[in-house]
Each structure stands twice: as structure tokens, then as C-alpha cells.
Structure 1
Amino acid sequence: MEILTVFLAIISLFVIIGIGYIAQKVGILNHDRVHLISRILVNIAIPAITISSMQVSRTVATMSIVNNMLLVAGGYYIVAFLVSILICHFLPSTPTEKGVYQFMLVFPNTMFMGLPVASAVLGTGSLFYVILFNLPFNLLVFTMGVWLLAQGRPGKFDLTVMLSPGLVASVLGLSLFLAGFMLPAQVNAGLDLVGSTTTPLAMLVVGALLATLPVSQLAGDWRVKLITTFRLVIFPVIAYIALSPFVADKLLLGVAVLLIAMPVASNSVLLSEEYKVDSTLASQGVFLSTMLCLATIPILMSLV
């Protein structure tokens, strides 16, 4: 894959991030409006594109894709979780910082940035693969992710958070696919149209969130840089080396490496705020990894 092609595809997304950043700075997007857009994304746009992207015919080939992608995604999360325990055991941190560091290591931004970047870099045909990779993410981010952030805080974990629209849509979309049930064309077209707003809205939100951080605190200290190195470089390189001898489907390999190479999940900021841990640290991780992925993703994808 040409490195310039990938770079130009991602640059267009960063233009929208820049618009969101400026809109926040000049007051067009304030906290309440960003929160409203986030709710529209999480509760409407992303569930819509989740269902529509899984409206493909059930064949032997597609069932193979489902099995292989879920195996790859599940394997990644197991390995990333174990590595996060090892790294954070030696990383100097407070109890509240430790969970944030582990969350940043384990969870890439596979939804808000994964969907638009995969669409731009690999084409719309990659969205089915992206949604499949996000099935474990939607489950784990509200279970293991919340536990990492709020570990040791009794009463903070609420099982109802698992029933998010994203998780429900993932299960529904997968159920429809496995049952071989195709929605009426008009319904699917409507869902697809609503889901198409995910890319610009998600990038606006990322830009607006970054604009809330003081410039002097954006990059964080050496620990944030270490976590970012693992998130953007070490994890995807290991994934490519481990998967390339066994994965014949080049699109599946490309999507898996691309999603594992995504920056820190923006959920880290929202959940850190909710569970009263270090949301500033999470914001620094999101900012630094998001900025640096402009360089790391084109280089990595040129090798796939």
C-alpha cells in the first residue's frame, strides 16, 4: 500500500479534527454540545452503521471471516491485557493512575477512529471486518475496562452499563447475519445514511475534546510516551509478525493491524471522569497517540 495514499486519506480526517478543535476554541462547540454529539454517535449513528455494515449474505466465506476476525480480536485483547499487567507492575504510578495506564494499553480507538480511518484507507468493504473486531471491544470496554479503572472501588461497577446501544446493535447485527435475514432495502439504506454521519461527527468530537486541554499538559510525561509507543508501534508490529504467516485474507490482516495501531480509545476520558480517576492522564494519552498516529499508521500500513 502506497504510504502517500494512506497519509493523504488520514490527513482528510485530521482536517475535520482541526475544525472541531477550532469550533471548541471559538465557542461554537461547548461542553454540552460536544456531549450531545457524543450521545448521538454512541446511541444512534454507531449502532446504525453497526447493523447496516453486517447486512451481508451469509456464505461459507463470510462465516470464515467472522470466525477468524473474532479469533484475532479475542487473542489481541488477551495478550494486551497480560502485557498491561506486566508493564504497569513496574511502571511507577498511583493506584488511580495504574488503571488508566492499563486501559490505554489495552483499548485502541477502534470505533470512533477505527471506522472512518478503515473506510478511508481500506475502503467501505472493510467495515464488516471493523464491526466484527468491535464486538469484543463493546463487551470488554464496559466490563474489563471499567474494572481496570475502578478496581478496588466497591459499589462502582454497574452491570447495566453492558446494555449499551453499541453492544445491543452488535449482537442484533450479528444475529441477523447468522440467521441470514436481510433487512428491507429502504430500511438498510436509512441505517446506512444515518451511520455515514459517524466519520465527521466522531472527528469533530475528537478535535473538540483535545481543545479542552491546556497546551502545556497535552503531551504528558515519559510514562504517557511509553504507553503511546506500545499502543502505536509495538503492539501492531507484533500483531503483523504473529498474524501474517497464518492469515491469507489480506483485508482481514490489514484491518486487524490497522485497528490494533489505533490511538488510545476516547472512552478512556469519559470513563475516567465517571469513575473519578485521572481523566487528565487519559486525555494526555488520547492527545499524544492521536497526533502521532498521523505518522505511524501510514508507515505501518505501507508494510501490510
Structure 2
Amino acid sequence: MLSNFALVAGQVVTLFLLMGAGFVLAQLGKLYPDGVSQMSTLVLYVVTPCVIIHAFAIERTDGMVRLLLEFAAVYALSTLFCAAVALFCFRGESPCRRGPMRFAMVYGNNGFMGLPLLLSILGERAVIYGVVSVVVFNLLLWTHGVRTMGGRVTLRQALVSPATVGLVVGLPLFLTGGRLPSMVDSAVGFLADLNTPLAMIVIGAQMAGADLKRSFTSPRLYGVAAFRLLAAPLVPMLCLLPLRLDPMLYCANIILCAVPVAGATGMLAQRFEQDTAVAAQMVTLTTLLSVLTLPLMAVTAQSLSGILPL
């Protein structure tokens, strides 16, 4: 068990080293907020669709479609559980703080951090589950998430997103067994490979702009962190165990439920005029604490599912 924990912890630390590059560059003034914003846009609107398309470019085996639909349902229910709990929290906070704090309880960083983690911990076969989670995440984000932040929900926001664009291109290829032209496929693959380093550098640079002292001194933020990093993965871990789900599906869902607060928290807080400072502090605190909690959750899920020996 200890060797498995050390292995997963090492993979998480590797991602943190990439984040450290972004943090140091931002602290030294070599990476400006405008540049971070542009890199974030690149990841969201170009790299993310390419990751989805590239992940769907695999051979479809018997039962795979059923597994993906099953995973989509399991991940959506896990997220909606968090949303239900969040409704009863932080009622005494001001509206501009309540929205980001509730949002942070529900939405984890499964795009920027979840996909690299699945690849590092479970291998390439698990990335397809991460892709499905990104689609479900975006559908919930642009409906429930926007509403939580005090915004107005539109059908266009719910249906038109980088994830759904990638899905529209990648899913037909997956279902029909078709492939993109070789040159296009190579370009998509190269862009998809940027997801891990670029996403981690963006998170590191965003952390450099947060008030680290306040991040570690607010009891309310520790409450959000405890729910996001411990309760959010533990509840589905225990509730789903009797169902005897596919081990890879089970572990992928738990890892994605255990990731820190989504980077989108700050972006949506700014867009809907909520408290951006508390949003940045929650992302920072949970991201740093996840270096301890993520290996624990990942190894426990792998052990319970049978992927790793107890």
C-alpha cells in the first residue's frame, strides 16, 4: 500500500512541479496576467476539443458505449450530490461570496487537472472517461454553475462549448470507427499533448496571483476544502462500491471527484461580478492540499476496486 501511495504521490508531485514553473515565472514577472489569460483560452478553446477528439480515436470494443454511458450517469450523480449539499451551506455569507463558495464545493478541476491525473495514474485507457466527464461538467457548469454564480442561463451557453464541439467531431468517429486524415490526426494529437504542461502552468500562474496568507487562515475556506477533497470523493466511493462497477470506471470517477476546486471558479466569479479574491484563495488552498489527499483517494479507490492489491 505504501509503495502504491508513493507511486501516485510521485505522479501528483510531477504535476505540481509543472505548476511550479508557472508559479515561478509569474512571480518573477516573466508571465503576465494577459499571457496567462491567453494560455487559458488556448487550453479551453483549442486544446480541450483536441483532447476529446484524440481520446475518441480508439477502437470501439463490445460494451464500451454502455460503460461510457454508465460513467456519465455516475459522474453526473456524484456532481449533483455535491450541488444538493451546497444548497444548505454558507447561507450567512454575502451573496458575492456565497456563490463562489457553493460553486467551489461542486466543481472540481477535472479538465485542467483531472485529465492529466487519469493519464498519469490509470493510463491512456482511462482518458476516455475524463473526456466524458468534461462534457458532463460543461453541461452542468453552463446551467447549474452559472445559476449558482448569479448569472442567467441560456440554451446557447448550455449547448455551445468547447467540450460539445469536440464531442460533435469525436463521437461520430468513435461510433463509426472512422479516422481523421493522417495529417489532421497528427496535428490534433500534438495539440492534445499540450494539455498537461499548459494546464499545469496556467494553474501555477493563477496561484501566484492569490493571497496565500489569507488562503491558509480562513476557517470557511478549510470547510470548502474538506468537502471538496474528502467528502466529495468518499461518499461516491462508499455508495458505488456495492454496485460492482467496472474497476477502471470506478477509479476514474473517484479520482475526478477528488480533484481540487475548478479554475473556472475565478473566471465565472469575475464574469458575474462575484468575489474573485475568495475564488482564487479556494483554488489555491485546495490545489496545494490535494498533493496529500489525491494520492490517498486514488490508492484507496484502486485498492477497493481490485486494480491494486489490498
Q: TM-score, structure 2 length as denominator?
A: 0.91
Moved over 6 A (4+): none
2:49 to 47, 55, 67: 47
Equivalent residue number for residue 304 of structure 2:
none
The aligned runs of 1:263-278 (5 Å cut-off) are: 263-278=260-275
Q: Residues of 1 paired with 2:13 and 2:122: CA distance?
A: 15
Equivalent residue number for residue 261 of structure 1:
258
Q: Residues of 1 paired with 2:244 and 2:137: CA distance?
A: 21
Instruction: Find out whether 1:116 has 2:116 as its counterpart.
Output: yes
Q: Which structure 2 segments of 5+ residues have no match?
A: 302-310
Instruction: Find out whether 1:57 has 2:59 as its counterpart.
Output: yes
Structure 1 residues 233 and 32, CA, compared in 2 at 3 Å: closer, same or farther?
same
Equivalent residue number for residue 96 of structure 1:
96
Cα deviations across residues 205-242 of structure 1 (Å, max 9, x unaligned)?
A: 00000101233223351111111101100111111111
Letter in 2 for 1:103: F
Q: Residues of 1 paired with 2:28 and 2:17: CA distance?
A: 17
TM-aligned CA deviation for residue 247 of structure 1: 3.4
The aligned runs of 1:75-86 (5 Å cut-off) are: 75-86=77-88
Structure 1 residues 229 and 129, CA, compared in 2 at 3 Å: closer, same or farther?
same
Q: Residues of 2 paired with 1:93 and 1:106: CA distance?
A: 17
TM-aligned CA deviation for residue 185 of structure 1: 3.9
Cα RMSD (Å) of the superposition?
1.7
Q: Residues of 2 paired with 1:68 and 1:115: CA distance?
A: 19
Equivalent residue number for residue 68 of structure 1:
70
The aligned runs of 1:18-37 (5 Å cut-off) are: 18-37=20-39
Cα deviations across residues 63-94 of structure 1 (Å, max 9, x unaligned)?
A: 122121111112112211111112344xx311
Q: Residues of 2 paired with 1:245 and 1:189: CA distance?
A: 42
Letter in 2 for 1:161: Q
Equivalent residue number for residue 130 of structure 1:
130
Q: Residues of 1 paired with 2:189 and 2:286: CA distance?
A: 29
Q: Residues of 2 paired with 1:277 and 1:176: CA distance?
A: 40
Structure 1 residues 65 and 182, CA, compared in 2 at 3 Å: closer, same or farther?
farther
Cα deviations across residues 157-176 of structure 1 (Å, max 9, x unaligned)?
A: 55543422223213432243
The aligned runs of 1:165-244 (5 Å cut-off) are: 165-219=162-216, 221-244=218-241
Out of 38-47 and 214-223, give the one that drifted further.
214-223
TM-aligned CA deviation for residue 11 of structure 1: 0.6
Cα deviations across residues 137-169 of structure 1 (Å, max 9, x unaligned)?
A: 011112211110015xxxx55554342222321
Out of 16-25 and 71-80, give the one that drifted further.
71-80
Instruction: Find out whether 1:248 has 2:250 as its counterpart.
Output: no
CA contact (8 A) 1:220 1:281 kept: no
Q: Residues of 1 paired with 2:12 and 2:149: CA distance?
A: 30
Q: Residues of 2 paired with 1:105 and 1:181: CA distance?
A: 39
TM-aligned CA deviation for residue 39 of structure 1: 1.0
Letter in 2 for 1:174: L
Out of 260-269 and 77-86, give the one that drifted further.
77-86
CA contact (8 A) 2:18 2:201 kept: yes
Q: Which structure 1 segments of 5+ residues have no match?
A: none
Equivalent residue number for residue 149 of structure 1:
149
